[in-house]
């Protein structure tokens, strides 16, 4: 992987293009389009009729380092799957035959581009984005999509309760972070992903990468799917991250919450790395090394 260019949408597309050329085992389709019409790539390894693990990165603009981490896994997995080698006692070539890996490396391309580049002067939505950002032309703290919706609060899990918390915090509309949108799945990015998940009943587990905190969330409120605590403990030992149950505003409307509540199947939020967002890009390799075993092991647990 290229560790020198930030993973904006263009660089992500380029990196995916290179991986597709190198590894015939890797397939790509489109999950859908972002608010500003950018494509959201969906990568697949294996047969989707097999038990499937879904990996998702970059819900949040400041967290585009997770795209690089997830693409590092794709590269690593594909390279090993072309051999008979073992890693952590697992043979990726065998996993590729018996499981399916679905990967959404960048759910929020608009947010990543805004965080990295700011808004170009001729952008047709410039005024609106500036308004959402409180008039501030500095978008380096931007987490949301291009309508100021925090995608990881836009899923249908505790939405009404979250709305009350949001208003208490003085958030009434589009914002750099934490605005949950008008209604669940109001955004094309979340609608596309939730719809894909509903249509693919073989998805048995979801791993979502965020930054930061070195924690693994595995519950939604009081809801803990069978085996989730055990798997979180296992991932905790593998990564050195702390299995945790989210509290406060973090406990509502996320992909992990929705999947747990809607399907009663295990889902995990990895809060990767430690420091202040956005984490510097040179942390990507360390983060990947820390969570590598968990990423490789997940398909064996479904
Ligand atoms: Zn996040």
Can you spell out the DSSP letters for 118-151? ---TT-TTHHHHHHHTTT-S--TT--S-TTS--G
Compute the distance from residue 98 Cα to the ligand 1 centre, in Å: 31
Q: Which H or E run contains 37?
A: none
Q: What is the pLDDT of residue 122?
A: 80
Compute the distance from residue 150 Cα to the ligand 1 centre, in Å: 9
With bands split at pLDDT 50, 70 and 90, how would you rate the model's confidence at 1? confident
Q: What is the pLDDT of residue 124?
A: 82
Only one residue has tokens 């949108």, namely 181
Compute the distance from residue 271 Cα to the ligand 1 centre, in Å: 8
Residues 6+ apart with CB under 8 A from 191: 32, 185
> Average pLDDT for residues 17-39, to the nearest whole number?
97
Q: What is the pLDDT of residues 77-131, one digit of tens each?
A: 999 999 999 999 999 999 999 999 999 999 999 999 999 999 977 878 899 999 9
Compute the distance from residue 60 Cα to the ligand 1 centre, in Å: 5
Compute the distance from residue 24 Cα to the ligand 1 centre, in Å: 31
Compute the distance from residue 270 Cα to the ligand 1 centre, in Å: 9
pLDDT at 199 over 80: yes
Mean pLDDT check: name the lowest of 42-56, 108-122, 188-202. Answer: 108-122
CB atoms within 10 A of CB 124: 7
Residues 6+ apart with CB under 8 A from 201: none
Compute the distance from residue 22 Cα to the ligand 1 centre, in Å: 30
Compute the distance from residue 275 Cα to the ligand 1 centre, in Å: 13
Q: What is the pLDDT of residue 3?
A: 84
End-to-end CA gap in the chain: 28
Distance (Å, whole) CA 40 – CA 55: 14
Compute the distance from residue 66 Cα to the ligand 1 centre, in Å: 10
pLDDT at 250 over 80: no
Compute the distance from residue 298 Cα to the ligand 1 centre, in Å: 21
Residues 6+ apart with CB under 8 A from 231: 218, 266, 268, 301
Q: Which H or E run contains 264?
A: none
Name which of 183, 147, 189 is nearest 38 in CA terms. 189
Structural domains of the chain ordered from first start: 9-301 (3.40.630.10)
**Would you mind telling me the total number of residues written for the chain in this entry?**
302
Radius of gyration of the chain (CA): 18
Compute the distance from residue 269 Cα to the ligand 1 centre, in Å: 9
Compute the distance from residue 75 Cα to the ligand 1 centre, in Å: 23
Compute the distance from residue 59 Cα to the ligand 1 centre, in Å: 6
Q: What is the pLDDT of residue 4?
A: 87
Compute the distance from residue 210 Cα to the ligand 1 centre, in Å: 4
pLDDT at 251 over 90: no
What strand order describes the sheet that includes 267-272? 26-33, 39-45, 100-104, 52-57, 203-211, 267-272, 215-217, 242-244
pTM of structure? 0.98
> Average pLDDT for residues 40-45, to the nearest whole number?
98
Q: What is the pLDDT of residue 151?
A: 98
Q: What is the pLDDT of residue 171?
A: 94
> Average pLDDT for residues 150-159, to the nearest whole number?
96
Compute the distance from residue 293 Cα to the ligand 1 centre, in Å: 21
């Amino acid at each position: 992987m290229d560790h020198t260019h930030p993973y904006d949408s263009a660089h992500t597309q380029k990196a995916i293009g290179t991986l597709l050329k190198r590894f015939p085992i890797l397939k790509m389709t489109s999950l859908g389009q972002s608010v500003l019409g950018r494509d959201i790539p969906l990568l697949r390894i294996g047969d989707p009729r097999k038990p499937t693990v879904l990996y998702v990165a970059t819900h949040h603009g400041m967290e585009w380092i997770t795209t690089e981490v997830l693409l590092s896994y794709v590269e690593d997995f594909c390279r090993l799957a072309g051999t008979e080698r073992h890693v952590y006692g697992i043979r990726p070539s065998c996993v590729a035959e018996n499981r399916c890996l679905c990967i959404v490396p960048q759910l929020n391309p608009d947010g990543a581009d805004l965080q990295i580049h700011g808004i170009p002067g001729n952008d047709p939505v410039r005024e609106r984005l500036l308004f959402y950002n409180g008039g501030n032309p500095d978008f380096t703290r931007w987490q949301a999509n291009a309508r100021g919706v925090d995608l990881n609060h836009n899923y249908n899990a505790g939405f009404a309760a979250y709305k009350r918390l949001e208003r208490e915090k003085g958030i009434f509309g589009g914002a750099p972070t934490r605005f949950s949108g008008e209604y669940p799945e109001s955004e094309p990015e979340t609608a596309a992903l939730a719809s894909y998940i509903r249509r693919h009943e073989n998805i048995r587990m979801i791993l979502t990468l965020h930054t930061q905190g070195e924690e693994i969330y595995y519950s939604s409120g009081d809801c803990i799917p069978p085996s989730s605590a055990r798997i979180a403990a296992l991932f905790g030992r593998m990564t050195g991250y702390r299995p945790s149950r989210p509290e406060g505003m973090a406990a509502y409307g996320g992909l992990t919450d929705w999947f747990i509540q809607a399907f009663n199947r295990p889902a995990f939020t990895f809060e990767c790395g430690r420091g202040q967002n956005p984490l510097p890009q040179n942390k990507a390799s360390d983060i990947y090394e820390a969570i590598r075993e968990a990423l490789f092991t997940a398909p064996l647990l479904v």
